[in-house]
């Protein structure tokens, strides 16, 4: 995942949690992202989802695993993997063709194919 993909990804991930977090927490998260602290913001969002406050939308599962693979062999990798293991991922539901197109467009901007792999 390159820096531009990471930027798009972290904003989309923050948007996915926005309805579940307090406004002041969301503002701090947005400030962190705006300051370029993408890794810290993604880690904060992993903690949020790992604490079971909401299920992670299924379309973020593969990109998060790809992001964590960027830490392979580092001290952070096992910590991030433990967090990810605690996350409940929402069940993929059947969508209409229009909804599928919306997801493709959103994640196409992120640089991910529908299968979660980087393009």
pLDDT in tens, 32-86: 999 999 999 999 999 999 998 789 999 999 999 999 999 999 999 999 999 999 9
% of the chain at pLDDT higher than 90: 67
Model pLDDT, residue 2: 83
DSSP annotation string for 74-113: SSHHHHHHHHHHTPPBPPP----HHHHHHHHHHHHHHTB-
């Amino acid at each position: 995942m390159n820096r531009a993909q990471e930027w798009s990804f972290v904003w989309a991930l923050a948007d996915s949690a926005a309805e579940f977090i307090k406004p002041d927490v969301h503002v701090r998260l947005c400030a962190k992202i705006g300051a370029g602290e993408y890794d810290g913001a993604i880690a904060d969002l992993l903690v949020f989802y790992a604490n079971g406050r909401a299920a992670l939308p299924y379309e973020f599962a593969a990109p998060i695993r790809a992001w964590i693979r960027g830490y392979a062999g580092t001290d952070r990798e096992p910590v991030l993997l433990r967090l990810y293991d605690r996350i409940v991922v929402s069940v993929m539901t059947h969508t209409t063709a229009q909804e599928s197109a919306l997801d493709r467009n959103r994640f196409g901007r992120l640089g991910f194919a529908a299968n979660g792999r980087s393009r």
